[in-house]
Amino acid sequence: MSKANGEYDTVKSAILAHSVRLFCEKGVHETSIGDIAEATNLSKGTLYYHYKAKSDLVNDVADMHLIWVSDVMFTWVNGLERNCTDEVVLTLFDMLTTNETESRLHCVLLTYAVSDETLIEKLRARYKEWRIMLEVGSLKMASPYSERTRALSELFFTIVDGCMLETNAGITGSYRDQLKLLLKQ
């Protein structure tokens, strides 16, 4: 099968990939449909054929990212062994924060969500699912690690988001070490 738009299987996948890159570089508000069309080597008309509005494109990019986070969570939960320690929470933290593109995109989407009710609702629903997945994973841990991890499930994603935001802003912190201290208390 020949590839559409160079290295991509479909025109839509090329649009999405270039949109992610541009959103990460410039932000959603600063990226125009014209910028995406130019980066993808498409006319604006062709881009509008696939996406009637920029908000539709942002929603697809957000869906891809949210699926990525969910996949990371599923991989983590499924890989846990019975009676493991809370060190596995640090592994999850690393899995979520070390992918530079996804980390940057997460920050961009959080920022954009401030003014987009549809995205806010998607994020609320997904964060709730992710907290439940973290709690399910904690059930595989040995006691008392299990109780502490369940108690910190709300705070965990706040720490992940803070780490991503500060890292992408060029502020370095020792989030992993602080999370480790929280887990030990």
- CA dist., res. 31 & res. 48, Å (int): 15
Sorted by where each begins, the domain ranges of the chain are 1-52, 55-184
Q: What integer pLDDT is reported at residue 111 of this predicted model?
A: 95
Q: What integer pLDDT is reported at residue 5 of this predicted model?
A: 55
Q: What integer pLDDT is reported at residue 3 of this predicted model?
A: 46
Pick the CATH number of 55-184 from 1.10.357, 1.10.3470, 3.80.10, 1.20.120: 1.10.357
Mean pLDDT, the chain cut into blocks of 10 residues (185 residues total): 62 96 97 96 95 96 98 96 91 94 97 96 97 94 86 89 91 80 78
Q: What integer pLDDT is reported at residue 179 of this predicted model?
A: 84
Q: What integer pLDDT is reported at residue 109 of this predicted model?
A: 98
Q: What integer pLDDT is reported at residue 32 of this predicted model?
A: 96
Could you tell me the fold of the domain covering 1-52? Arc Repressor Mutant, subunit A (1.10.10)
CB 17 within 8 A of CB 23: no
Whether the model pTM is above 0.85: yes
The span from the first CA to the last CA of the chain, in angstroms, equals 56
